[in-house]
Structure formats: C-alpha cells, structure tokens
Amino acid sequence: MLRTFLLNILAAALLGTSLSADVRNVIVIGWDGAQRNHVKEMIARNELPSLIALCKEGRLIDIDVTDGATDTKAGWTQILTGYSCSITGVYNNTRYQPIPEGYSVFERLESHFGPDKIDTVAVIGKKNHVGNAAPKKIPYTRFEKQLEQKKKGNPAAAAALARTARIFEENGEKFALIPGEPWYSASRKMDLFVNGLSENEKVAERALEEIEKRKDRRFFLFIHFAQPDHAGHQYGENSQEYTKALRDDDLWTGRIVAKLKELGLYEKTLVYVVVDHGFDEGQKSHSYAPYVFLGTNDPAINRDGDRADIAPTILKRFGMDLSKISPLLTGVPLDEPAPRKIAPAEKPAAKARSKKTKDQPLSSLGKNSPALEKLRTLDVNDLTPIEAVNLLKEIKKEME
C-alpha cells in the first residue's frame, strides 16, 4: 500500500519534470471582465466549446482576487508579475505607477533565457489600463484647463484624472504629474508591445500573425481580449451582449489553438485562459468582483488558486528557479500546495486608519502585552539598534 503510494508520487514527480522539459512556449489569453458564474453557466449550456476542449486536456480551476482592486490595471499587473499590489505599486485604475523594472514575467523571461533566445510579445485590446505611456509633468494651469474640458465630455474620466495626478511645486511653479502607466518600463524590454487594438477580431488577427512569424522561436505571448468588459459596462452582466462577447472570446481562443495545431506547435505550448476581474452580479460595474477562473491545457495544475499564483506557474513552467527571484513572488505555482485564499463575499472595508499612536501612553497596551513585558524585563542599554527598532515596531503594532 505504502509502496504503491510512494511509486505514485515518484511517477507524478517524473511526469511533472518531463512535462516542463517539453514546454517551449506559453500563451496567456486574457478574457477581460469574465465573471466566473456567468462562464460556468455558459459551459453548462455547451456555449464555450474552445474553452471546454482546452480544459479537457488540462484543468478548469477557480481563481479568487484577494489583493488589489478587481479592475484592469491591478488585474493584469498582478497576473503578469505574481506580486501583491503593495510591491508593484499598481493598486487600482487610478492609483498606479510603472511596474518596477524587471518585475514582469516578460522581463524575467528575457533575462532568464537571454534576449535573443525568447520572444516576449503582448497584443492588447485595451489602451490606457493596459498601457505603457511615460510619466507626464505638465504646468498646473494647463492641467486645470484639460480637467475642465474633460468634465464637459466625460465627468468620470475627469474625476479619475484628478485622483491620479500628483500636484507639486518646483521653483515656485505648480505642476501636475501624471504617473507612467504600468507597462512603461516592462514594454521597453519586450520584443513587441502593441495595445489599443480594441475589437477581439483585430487583437486575434495580430496575434495569429505574430505566432506565424515566431513559429520557429521560443515565445511567451500575452493576448488580451477586451470585449466582455466593454459589453458588461454598457449592457450589464446579465445581458445577451455580455454573453455574446464571451462567445466571441471563445471563438478567437479556438482560432489561436487551431493555429498552434496547424503549425505543429500545440504539443509544446501551454495555453492559459485567465481573467483580471469578474463582474458585479447583474450590474454594469465590477467594483467588487473577485471571482474568476483559469482554464488551461496544462494537466499539472491541481488546485484552485489566487490571482497572484498565475505568474509563478508560468515562470516555473519555463524552468525558472523561483527561490532565486527577488523580491520573492507573492503567489505560489498552481501545481504546488498552498493554503486556499478565498475572497470574502462582501468587499472588505478599507482598513481603518490606525489611531495615532504617538500620544497614547504605554499603559494603553494592557497588562498582558508582550511588548510591555519585554520593556519590563530588558535592560535597554543591552539593546542593539536593530532590536530597539523591532521593539518599537511591536509596540506600534499592538497599539493599532
């Protein structure tokens, strides 16, 4: 009994190794704004044949969003870096910055294989939220005029711009700084970054061209379909239009898989269909829509996971040693055990600002406070500066 069990583990381990040895390419296909339940209902009605066929060879798993906003900027940044938003600085669509240099899957693969040994490519439907624009510094008076103008046409966009801009003074002159978009640094290291293609058809046609062009090379390709998100915002999650847009994602996903088969690449290409955020049930918004999915032909995937687990999975499949990546990735590969993170049903309340600790007396820590106990028993003169700092941190944490 035990012997069979051990043999099975050994077999699984060997299978796992040989699998990643055969992997040459990875394609991530993004279905922007695809709600998990809506997709599962369509699967039950047999309406997403390409996704169903893909998952038959691998897995369909639940993915939850437990860190960062359920929106586009935070979503694709997390999916393609594997980090918490506190590490990338991309929290949501209005609070963001360029992803720190070197942190994206694209850049990691470029440096792992060497720039000539892999093609890293992104073909993207959306423009600004999956954008690579440089930071902009503009005189404040001009910024104010822009804001006024935007208010007339698109008040929501004006409000977003006002929230995004950082106002500062330099030599007595006032400026507005619009931060660089998330893909500003990363796109400079990639072989191709093209965004704003809008319709699924245009995105897919460009992607098919790129696959053909690179068929003899190793590649990592990100293909981003925006249509379900747009349809959801315009007509709502329960609309026919939203359903139709998802069918369109599926249709083009099928064409991409067919192309891989035609070129003889399918056997050595892992395809992951992934989602940045879902949709608020029956609404035209996704202010809290943490339930999404991952569908793949990768049979090694063996558990449900978190939005941050996708990037580590890809990097591992390309043979990278994740323990050498700095800073350590937030996510865990989806073929390794990890505690299940489940997004709560209600949006967690924004963390209450911690009470000002500086005026609280130490007695407010309470009788059983570990920090207070340490203070009582320690000789302060024996403390090293690092120990002292850590103790201060402990006190502060207890007071919050």
Candidates 313, 230, 234; CA nearest to 63 is 313
Task: Work out how close the CB of 237 gets to Zn ion at its nearest, in angstroms, rounded to a whole number.
Answer: 11
Sequence-distant (6+) residues with CB within 8 A of 39 are 48, 51, 246, 293
Q: What is the dihedral of CA 23, 256, 329, 294, to 10 degrees?
A: -110
Given the complex with Zn ion, which of 229 and 249 has the nearer CB atom?
229
Given the complex with Zn ion, which of 229 and 280 has the nearer CB atom?
229
SS3 276: coil
Residue 73, token pair as written in the block: 């900027």
Task: Work out how close the CB of 233 gets to Zn ion at its nearest, in angstroms, rounded to a whole number.
Answer: 6
Count other Cβ atoms within 10 Å, centred on residue 302.
Answer: 15
Kindly state the number of chain residues that form the binding site for Zn ion, as judged by CB under 5 A: 1
Task: Work out how close the CB of 399 gets to Zn ion at its nearest, in angstroms, rounded to a whole number.
Answer: 39
- Which of positions 349-378 make contact with Zn ion (CB under 5 A)? none
Task: Work out how close the CB of 47 gets to Zn ion at its nearest, in angstroms, rounded to a whole number.
Answer: 22
In what side-by-side order are the strands of the sheet with 59-64?
192-194, 119-124, 219-225, 25-31, 269-274, 291-296, 59-64, 305-306
* Sign of the torsion formed by the C-alpha atoms of 107, 109, 111 and 114: negative
For residues 196 to 235, the per-residue mask of contacts with Zn ion, x marking binding by CB under 5 A and - elsewhere, is: ---------------------------------x------
| Alpha carbon distance 36, 58 (integer Å) | 18
Closest-CB residue for Zn ion? 229
Task: Work out how close the CB of 72 gets to Zn ion at its nearest, in angstroms, rounded to a whole number.
Answer: 6
| Alpha carbon distance 326, 153 (integer Å) | 44
Given the complex with Zn ion, which of 237 and 306 has the nearer CB atom?
237
Given the complex with Zn ion, which of 220 and 288 has the nearer CB atom?
288
Task: Work out how close the CB of 268 gets to Zn ion at its nearest, in angstroms, rounded to a whole number.
Answer: 34
Q: E-strand spans in 131-236?
A: 136-139, 166-170, 173-178, 192-194, 219-225
SS3 2: helix
SS3 145: helix
Task: Work out how close the CB of 231 gets to Zn ion at its nearest, in angstroms, rounded to a whole number.
Answer: 10
Given the complex with Zn ion, which of 72 and 330 has the nearer CB atom?
72
- Which of positions 109-138 make contact with Zn ion (CB under 5 A)? none
| Alpha carbon distance 109, 104 (integer Å) | 9
Residue 53, token pair as written in the block: 């066929």
Task: Work out how close the CB of 74 gets to Zn ion at its nearest, in angstroms, rounded to a whole number.
Answer: 11
Sequence-distant (6+) residues with CB within 8 A of 254 are 49, 50, 53
| Alpha carbon distance 235, 295 (integer Å) | 26
Given the complex with Zn ion, which of 32 and 67 has the nearer CB atom?
32
Given the complex with Zn ion, which of 92 and 97 has the nearer CB atom?
92
In what side-by-side order are the strands of the sheet with 136-139?
136-139, 173-178, 166-170
Given the complex with Zn ion, which of 228 and 333 has the nearer CB atom?
228
Task: Work out how close the CB of 220 gets to Zn ion at its nearest, in angstroms, rounded to a whole number.
Answer: 25
Task: Work out how close the CB of 51 gets to Zn ion at its nearest, in angstroms, rounded to a whole number.
Answer: 20
Given the complex with Zn ion, which of 180 and 228 has the nearer CB atom?
228
276 lies in the binding site for Zn ion (CB under 5 A): no
Are 30 and 223 in contact, with CB atoms under 8 Å apart? yes
Given the complex with Zn ion, which of 107 and 229 has the nearer CB atom?
229
Q: Contact residues for Zn ion (CB under 5 A)?
A: 229
